[in-house]
Chain A
Amino acid sequence: MRIEKRLHDSQLMVYLSPLLALLLTLISGALLFALLGRPPLGSLYTFFIAPISDLYGLSELAVKVTPLLLCAIGLTLCFKAKIWNIGAEGQFVFGALIGGAVTLQLAESEGFWVLPVIIASGALAGMAWAAIAALLLTRFNANEILTTIMLNYIAVNLLLWAVHGPLKDPDGLNFPESALFASQTLLPVLFEDYRVSIAIFIALFMLVVIWVVLTRTLLGFQLRVMGENHNAARFAGFNSKKLIWLLLCFSGAMAGVAAISETNGPVGQLIPTLSLGYGYAAIIVVFMGRMHPLGILLASCLLGLTYLGGEMAQIDQGLPKSITGLFQGMLLFYLLACDLLISYRVVPNSRSVKPSAITQ
């Protein structure tokens, strides 16, 4: 038995693969619940439907999806151009740190300009953090995977330093948290008593923007060409350095806005464990969503739902926390397996195909 490349990738299957993976995950999940001696359908209901069965649940899904989606929007453009920005996490955290510092400065300020300034500061900070990687890549040809990962650790430690030091709540008994943000510096919520804020509209708007950019503009064409073939892009006269700067900075800005959606939204202060890994989860979202705007929207909802479902399964069914990781792992495993079998096929050794038939 060996694995060989298929002659043609089925375009349809590329898009069907995530759905197939979801279906397989549900079937395996149901089997697993049955083996644990629990009603399979009821348990799946608790996990996937109950969390969003009322308006509050839906609003909480939006709360969870907002930062994921914003990070994923920036990463989509980068990954399309094969710029492997693994640093959304660091850009998020640095955006949170600077945005938080600005917010604390503006605690006494009133006016329509306060929120735009805060959002812009977060975006600029995320951008600045990504720009370091852009500079290292364009000037010194330093691999962006490594630099962005390293910058993540630096950002996290800067945040720790800040909440233990200059930004610590003076009345907080040395607890490593900033003061609670003033109410006029918080993003307005859409409904009273719910936590979903206007940030979800920013995310959806930016989603439309990248959709248009990808399908209707020269820039979108350029970055797709660059992703397909770097040399071809150069021969066509595209300025790849400019593109790298643009994409990394945009991605950083989106992560920065994601940070503000969290700090000036549901959290309302700076704390050491701000990000909860949104920047990393967004990478999964982008690949699960096939780097397509609609895809990443669905993928971020699905991933967000697994977190909510995991909590619900614990509260209502007393299932262990590991069920969340299990579902996320199964989803990813089946997705990778489906992708592999869509591009490759398993052939028994007795039958051989001339390698010359393979063009790539």
Chain B
Amino acid sequence: MTLLTRKTFLRLLGAASLLTLSASVFAAPLKVGFVYVSPIGDAGWTYQHDEARKIVQKEFGDKIETTFVESVAEGADAERVIRNMASRGYDLIFTTSFGYMNPTIKVAKMFPKVKFEHATGYKTAANVGNYQARDYEGRYLAGMVAGAMSKKEVIGYVGAFPIPEVIRGINSFMLGAQAVNPNVKMKVVWVNTWHDPAKEREAAESLILQGADVLTMHTDSAATIQAAEAKGIYSVGFNSDMSAYGPKTHLTSSTQHWESIYSAKIKAVLDGTWKPEAIWHGLKENVVALSPMNPVVPKEVVAKVDAYKMEMIAGKRAVYQGPIYDQAGTLKVAEGKTLSDEELHQQNWYVKGIDGKIPQ
């Protein structure tokens, strides 16, 4: 009898503790942290990540709790911020700049139970996934618009760092421009920073002085768009819809929308099905898009861009479909071939028509 009571008691105790445990599992919201490289501001790379954060916060409601730290420099500070998040009970941490790759990997080793997702970069680990946008697809379409609107046939491009991600964007933009205007040329200026509006603006102005009459950039702020608007020349935005910064001259923007990726990752962690993987989503998954076009863009150009977009989504057209030649005129992609994802990830050459050399 006593034995039985004790057994029952133990069982009850076990059930009770199980109940509280599961209650705490379900009651405590999943803590999701975001680390941003630049201030959120009103436009640009970090802005789009934060928009996505707000969307998933709304979508999951009280099932998750999100926090961010902005303007975290890529260096010794990044590791501390990531680690502070991990040690303060965050379950899933998104680190959104390529310079966070090694700090993320380092912290992930110390916190094997925390899941990490790093945007851009090339490393994964047991608890580190990697996600990227095929922004080069949007670049190609935006390049078509730029090529069609350039009268002097010179496009100016403000680049952050000469890494494959940025070079891919430059080449894709150029290929798009050449698809509508085979004679178009491109000049590139490097600013060696993701976010420095003053530097970006200077670079944009120097491109205008070099004869460019359509500008675009791969940096985080809208300074290039503003510089173009001030000089009355066309521009193409990046990351977010930047039409507000160039009401007259902004043609369109190649944009990223991270919410589908964030939503899927958060859901996977909530369901316990999260796996470290490297994903690369584009037009098809709605991670990459083109913002509404300026009415000055002729209808037939809009129609052609739309048609190309549909073909790309359907898999009937690729950005890098041969024949494609590099600057020296060497055939890089043969007729009927396309580049593999691995070749895209390692791109370190310019297509024909781009001025200057990649800093090596």
Q: Is there an interface contact between A174 and B163, defined as CB atoms closer than 8 Å? A: yes
- Write the A260-274 contact mask toward B (1 if CB under 8 angstroms, else 0): 001001111101111
Residues of A within 8 A of B161 (CB): 175-176, 272
Contact A160-B192, Cβ < 8 Å, known A176-B161, A321-B39: yes
A150 to B51, CA, bound (A): 40
Residues of A within 8 A of B76 (CB): 63-64, 195, 262, 265-267, 276
B24 CB-CB contact with A under 8 Å: no
Q: Is there an interface contact between A274 and B75, defined as CB atoms closer than 8 Å? A: yes
Q: Is there an interface contact between B79 and A195, defined as CB atoms closer than 8 Å? A: yes
Q: Is there an interface contact between A173 and B122, defined as CB atoms closer than 8 Å? A: yes
Q: Is there an interface contact between B87 and A164, defined as CB atoms closer than 8 Å? A: no
Least distance between B119 CB and chain A CB atoms (Å): 14
Least distance between B87 CB and chain A CB atoms (Å): 7
Residues of B within 8 A of A315 (CB): 33, 67, 69, 81, 84-85, 88
Q: Is there an interface contact between B163 and A173, defined as CB atoms closer than 8 Å? A: yes
Residues of A within 8 A of B346 (CB): 173-174
B348 CB-CB contact with A under 8 Å: yes
A116 CB-CB contact with B under 8 Å: no
B110 CB-CB contact with A under 8 Å: yes
| Chain A residue at minimum C-beta to C-beta distance from B359 | A164
Least distance between A259 CB and chain B CB atoms (Å): 12
Least distance between A122 CB and chain B CB atoms (Å): 16
Q: Which among A268, A276, A308, A314 is the interface contact of B70 at CB below 8 angstroms? A: A314
Q: Is there an interface contact between B102 and A180, defined as CB atoms closer than 8 Å? A: yes
Q: Which among A56, A265, A321 is the interface contact of B71 at CB below 8 angstroms? A: A321
Residues of B within 8 A of A165 (CB): 359-360
B77 CB-CB contact with A under 8 Å: yes
A193 CB-CB contact with B under 8 Å: yes
A89 CB-CB contact with B under 8 Å: no
Q: Is there an interface contact between B84 and A312, defined as CB atoms closer than 8 Å? A: yes
B68 CB-CB contact with A under 8 Å: yes
Interface size of B by CB at 8 A reads 38
Q: Is there an interface contact between B87 and A271, defined as CB atoms closer than 8 Å? A: no
Q: Is there an interface contact between B98 and A175, defined as CB atoms closer than 8 Å? A: yes
A168 to B81, CA, bound (A): 26
Least distance between A208 CB and chain B CB atoms (Å): 25
B202 CB-CB contact with A under 8 Å: no
Residues of B within 8 A of A271 (CB): 74-75, 99
Residues of B within 8 A of A268 (CB): 102
Least distance between B108 CB and chain A CB atoms (Å): 13
Q: Is there an interface contact between B162 and A321, defined as CB atoms closer than 8 Å? A: no
B29 CB-CB contact with A under 8 Å: no
Chain A residues 299-334 with CB under 8 Å of chain B are 307-308, 311-312, 314-316, 318, 320-321
Least distance between B18 CB and chain A CB atoms (Å): 31
Chain A residues 226-284 with CB under 8 Å of chain B are 262, 265-269, 271-274, 276
B278 CB-CB contact with A under 8 Å: no
List chain A positions with a Cβ less than 8 A from chain B: 56, 60, 63-64, 160, 164-165, 168, 173-177, 180, 193, 195, 262, 265-269, 271-274, 276, 307-308, 311-312, 314-316, 318, 320-321
Q: Apart from A175-B163, A268-B102, A315-B33, what are 18 other A-B pairs with CB-CB below 8 Å? A: A60-B80, A160-B192, A164-B359, A165-B360, A168-B360, A173-B346, A174-B346, A175-B121, A177-B99, A195-B79, A195-B80, A276-B73, A276-B75, A311-B69, A311-B84, A315-B88, A321-B69, A321-B70
List chain B positions with a Cβ less than 8 A from chain A: 33, 39, 67-77, 79-81, 84-85, 87-88, 98-99, 102, 110, 121-122, 161-164, 167, 192, 345-346, 348, 358-360
Chosen A-B contacts, 27 in total, with CB atoms closer than 8 Å, are A56-B87, A60-B80, A63-B76, A164-B360, A165-B359, A173-B348, A174-B348, A175-B163, A177-B99, A262-B76, A265-B76, A267-B75, A267-B76, A271-B99, A272-B192, A273-B75, A273-B99, A276-B75, A311-B69, A314-B67, A314-B68, A315-B69, A315-B81, A316-B88, A318-B67, A320-B70, A321-B39
